[in-house]
Amino acid sequence: MSNAATHSLKFERTLEDTDYGLIISQTGKLKGIWVPDHLWDRPIPTGLCVICREFYGIDPNNNDTACNNLH
């Protein structure tokens, strides 16, 4: 395997200014959602909410199941 194939990028370096990121454990549990600092006060985008609801049963825009309740 070449060095390029084994080289890893820092999480933040792979994201653009408006990208969000899911933080998932090695067992597949959702641990959190990375939100750009300048978008922190806005609702999580619909597409990301659909993924969270469908796979994890969590709506990150609902205060009852907000990201701080993730395990």
Residue 70 has pLDDT above 50, yes or no: no
Alpha-carbon torsion (10, 14, 16, 21), positive or negative: negative
Strand partners, 34: 21
User: What pLDDT, on a 0 to 100 scale, did the predictor assign at position 6?
Assistant: 57
User: What pLDDT, on a 0 to 100 scale, did the predictor assign at position 31?
Assistant: 93
Return the structure tokens found at 7. Answer: 């080289």
Q: At 34, which amino acid appears?
A: W
The pLDDT tens digits for 1-42 are 445 555 666 777 788 889 999 999 999 999 999 899 999 999
Query: What is the spatial distance between Cα 50 and Cα 52, in angstroms, rounded to a whole number?
Result: 5
User: What pLDDT, on a 0 to 100 scale, did the predictor assign at position 8?
Assistant: 67
Q: What is the mean pLDDT of residues 38-66?
A: 88
Angle at 56 between CA 52 and CA 59, to 5 degrees: 45
Residue 57 has pLDDT above 70, yes or no: yes
